[in-house]
Structure 1
Amino acid sequence: MELQASCGVVLSIRRGSSRKEQIALKSDAASLPPLHLRRSSSSIANCRRNFNNSTSISAASCSESSLEEFSTVRPSQLSGIKPQYLEETDDSVLSERLLKLCRNNKILSALELFASMSALGIKPNSHACNSLIACLTRNNCIDDALAVFEILRREKLATEHTFSIVLKAVAEAKGCRSAVEIFSEVESEENKLDTVVYNTMISICGRSKNWIEAERLWNRLRQRDCAGSILTYRLLISIFVQCGQPELALSAYDEMIKNGLQPDEDSMKGIISVCTKEGNWRSGLAVFNQMINSGVQPNAVAFNSIINCLGKAGETDQAFKIYDLMKNAGLSPDVYTWTALLNSLYRSGRYSDALRLFEFISKGDEELNPHLCNVALMSCQRLRRWDRSLQILWKMEESEMYVPPESYNLVILACERANQAKVAVEVYEHMIHRKCVPDTFTHLSLIRACIWGSLWAEVDGLLKRVEPSASLYNTIIQGLFLRGKAGSAKKLYEKLRANGLEPDGKTRALMLQYSSEKPKFGRN
């Protein structure tokens, strides 16, 4: 190892030299200025230069007592360290001594011993070197850690553990990009990087949500014919799932299975969640069955996820089979389970079954929420069960839960479908009384109900109460035409244009038809 003095002479004391030669060399070394370490890596040098601008501490300015209690002092420049005379020249003994100093956080003493061993040409073992790097990094001496790291690399003393320690420290201090720069430089020079180092970098990228760099590392790992471990694929799946990259997550999982590796519980849960979002129920169900066959007990989240996935795909029977497995596993269904099952029945057009399931849920201990109730109200609307929708609405109000405008809209829509215009008006008035603000959908549904129920006075009153809008006028005009009130429709059409509103295509078509075929329409 080269530790060059300003005079250009390399200070080198070899084991086996006589004591007189060592004393003579020591006296020559005492007259030399502080040693400096030549930097070869541009990325590492930049990290060192930019990381800390604190004042450097020189060994020459420290007293003997301060050297003994240096655990609270943090040097910022390794260039101020001078080699000391060593009576002991056995590398194993000196390595053990260096190891103890690092464990006790004697930073300056450890650096002096390291420099002295380098001056004597004594190489510490890998355990001592890694301990020195770890000591410097945990005491925030990143500059010195990088300097020692350069030396270890030049002397081929750096191990995979050394790389991992340095990369983690740089990522924590400077961020993912700086760690990637150092890794890229090390990767181009080193041929012995193993899966552990790649896993370290993939983990660093995962913390920064940098899935692009994680994918690049994955490809480099395969190009080097370096087999990924279970941890490699677990990290990749987790990163791709969190970053919304389902295709990459599934690709990593497939490669994991192809390489004969058994996925862990977290990986399988992540893949199931990906399949749920993508609607890939076959792959999700296959992974779920693999989880059960491998002896892994899925939790409630995994059960709910696959039930939701099957429900969205219209595989209602499969969803209820998973529900039975959930009960047999001793897990209690929660609100997410019921929501997934209710949605599954509604999407499959099994509205009566959805209402029966809602009744079952209502009688249980599970607390109802607006979403569950709205699914039941949608089923009532499909079945034209306006009376049942009213009962559900009253139950929602009695439970003091928040009743959104959507719930009232669904009840009014059920009344419209069942031709119960007067009931729809009463629900609307009740909605206003409870200070629930109606929206455009409320007004449109109520107007359609009133038109088909021939409640013209209510239609006029609603027009006066609500701020004019194109959708509102278009709905009334079209309803009047369909009920044979062409004259009233024409007057309202003129009012629509007078308010600066635009008719839609259907309204224009009806007006053109009225103009060309007036006898076909009624006058009032």
Structure 2
Amino acid sequence: MLKLSRNNKVRSALELFASMSISGIRPDSHACNSLVACLIRNEYLDDALAVFAIMRKESMATGHTFSLIFKALAEARGCGPAIEMFVEMELEGRTVEGRFDVIVYNTMISICGRSKNWLEVERMWRRLRESDCIGTMLTYRLLISTFVQCGQAELALSAYNEMIQNGLEPDEDIMKGIISVCTKEGKWESGLTVFHRMLDRGIQPNAIAFNSMINCLGKAGESDHAFRIFELMRSSGLSPDVYTWSALLNSLYSSRRYADALRLFEFIMKGRSELNVHLYNVALMSCQRLRLWDRSLQILWDMEESGMPVPTESYNLVILACERAKQPKVAVEVYEHMIHKKCVPDTFTYLSLIRACIWGSLWIEVDEILRRVEPGASLYNTIIQGFFLRGKIKSAKKLYDKMRANGFEPDGKTRALMLQHLREDRT
């Protein structure tokens, strides 16, 4: 029967199995498993299930048998029927020595994982622990891979920690997956521990792993740690790419090291590295924080000369830098240049521009902006508050009435200023 099954002689193998059963001759589990595998391989699932039922009845089914059947059922009829059969048999207790072995649990975790059904994967993991089975390297590789793909960071980390507690050493793929999860969830300390574990074991991280770790540290504002990892990256012979530079710039900006961020940006530009919109925008955000309006203009011109499309956000950052540096006329020029470039302004453009013009007493420009755009609630509130604070009380009240007539509600600050001046009028 073993030979017939291996040679895919389906009918002959089945007839022999039936003949042996009638004669009271009991084939061993190995031969029966070979027959089941042959039937599944040749798409005779119903016959495989029939043989499986006999094997269960005769207590001949092994972990391999269950794995074959569950996997075949999932491939032919979906994950659901395989889970139903698993649960039913688990409740009956008609399994190998009264319980499933780790091979069966691994099979079910794999089946559910392929369907991205992380809830069932978690249930299978819980059942495995309740059955006193000890997970293997494959168990944890399947668990972590599924949880990472499904965005279940806490479960991925729990599986990783359990694996370490059980004395198993994670492989490179597992550690890269955990670092990826830590990056997404901002768990930089856990990520750094895993990263150093990779290095201690002599595993050379690739550029993706380095970038992921630098990005994780950067988001947490741990710029010193981020640059240490960057130095390790360079010493390993890997070249930084646009993702590396982006992560490093983010780390400096998140740490409020704006001048250092600009110095790094200058270094990147001199090195003729690939630049993208995000890198330019981080540099522009740093300029805005430092009120370096002239430097922000230079970066904007460099951005335009590079040929890349300049988004509204970049122009907004330059206008905001001009506002912070009290350069209202320059802000207006940037706005007009933006319009000339056919870049569409948004609410943030107008808010920053209006604030700059009001504090610079550029009332003609304010009127011009009001003619160009129909204000929304935020713009109305900004202009009214600016008018009040600059002593243009009549203009503020007139615009307030227009705002209410157009159905917009004043915010708390606008309402307070109106009440204050109403009291002053009465007194």
TM-score (norm 1): 0.78
Return the alpha-carbon distance in structure 1 between the equivalents of residues 216 and 114 of structure 2. 28
Partner of 1:107: 10
Matched, 1:189 2:94: yes
Match of 1:385 in 2: 292
2:257 is matched with 350
Partner in structure 1 of residue 20 of structure 2: 117
> CA distance change for structure 1 residues 500 and 213 in 2, over 3 Å: closer, same or farther?
closer
Paired AA for residue 406 in structure 2: N
Task: Give 1:192 deviation, angstroms.
Answer: 4.9
- Residue 39 of structure 2 corresponds to residue 136 of structure 1: yes
Count of aligned residue pairs for this structure pair: 423
Cα distance in 1 for residues equivalent to 2:405 and 2:426: 26
Which of the numbers 262, 281, 292 marks the counterpart of 2:199? 292
Query: % of aligned pairs identical?
Result: 75
Counterpart residue type for residue 511 of structure 1: M
What letter matches 1:169 in structure 2?
Answer: A
**Shift in alpha-carbon separation, 1:240–1:516, aligned structure 2, 3 A:** same
What per-residue deviation string (whole Å, max 9, x for no partner) do you get for residues 235-277 of structure 1? 1111222222222222211111111111111111122222222
- Residues 369/151 of structure 1: CA separation in 2 closer, same or farther (3 Å cut): same
Q: What secondary structure, in the 3-state scheme, does the structure 2 residue paired with 1:367 have?
A: coil
- Structure 1 vs Structure 2 CA RMSD: 1.6
The alignment status of 1:375 with 2:282, answered yes or no, reads: yes
Distance 1:427 1:519, change over 3 A: farther
The counterpart of 2:397, out of the listed 463, 484, 490, is 490
SS of structure 2 residue aligned to 1:221: helix
Q: 2:414 aligns with which of 476, 482, 507?
A: 507
Decide which moves more: 348-357 or 502-511: 502-511
Query: 1:206 and 1:476, CA in 2 relative to 1: closer, same or farther beyond 3 A?
Result: same
Matched, 1:158 2:61: yes
Cα shift at 1:476: 0.9
Which residues of 2 match residues 166-181 of structure 1 at below 5 A? 166-181=69-84
Rounded Cα–Cα distance in structure 2 between residues aligned with 1:223 and 1:390? 64
Partner of 2:319: 412
1:397 aligns with 2:310: no
Letter in 2 for 1:220: R
Structure 1 residue 437 and structure 2 residue 344: aligned? yes
2 CA distance for matches of 1:150 and 1:364? 69
Report the Cα offset of residue 185 of structure 1.
2.7
Change (3 A) 1:365 1:156: farther
4+ residue runs over 4 A deviation: none
Letter in 2 for 1:228: G
Q: 1:498 and 1:246 mapped to 2: Cα distance?
A: 51
Q: Distance in 2 between matches of 1:519 and 1:512?
A: 11
- Paired residue secondary structure (1:517): helix
CA deviation string 1:7-54 (max 9, x = no partner):
xxxxxxxxxxxxxxxxxxxxxxxxxxxxxxxxxxxxxxxxxxxxxxxx
Task: Give the residue type in structure 2 aligned to 1:500.
Answer: G
For 1:127, which of 18, 30, 43 is the aligned residue? Answer: 30
Cα distance in 2, alignment partners of residues 106 and 317 from structure 1: 67
Hey, what does 2:160 align to over in structure 1?
253
Secondary structure at 1:189's aligned position in 2? coil
CA distance in 2, matches of 1:233, 1:519: 76
Give the letter aligned to residue 2 of structure 2: L
- Using structure 2 for the length normalisation, give the TM-score: 0.95
SS at match of 2:237: coil
How far, CA to CA, are the matches of 1:198 and 1:502 in structure 2? 60
Larger radius of gyration: 1
Residue 364 of structure 2: which of 446, 454, 457 is its match? Answer: 457
Aligned-residue offset at 1:282: 1.5
The code of the aligned residue for 2:74 comes to A
Structure 2 CA distance for aligned equivalents of residues 234 and 375 of structure 1: 37
Structure richer in helix, relative to its length:
2
Matched, 1:446 2:353: yes
CA offset at residue 518 of structure 1?
4.1
Cα distance, 1:157 vs. partner? 2.1
Amino acid of the structure 1 residue aligned with 2:265: F
Q: Provide structure 1 residue ranges, at least 5 long, that are not aligned to the other structure.
A: 1-97
Partner of 1:322: 229
Cα 1:185–1:500 change in 2 (3 A) is: closer
Q: 1:103 to 1:452 in 2, by over 3 A?
A: same
Q: Tell me which of 52, 56, 67 is aligned to 1:149.
A: 52
Q: CA deviation at 1:519?
A: 10
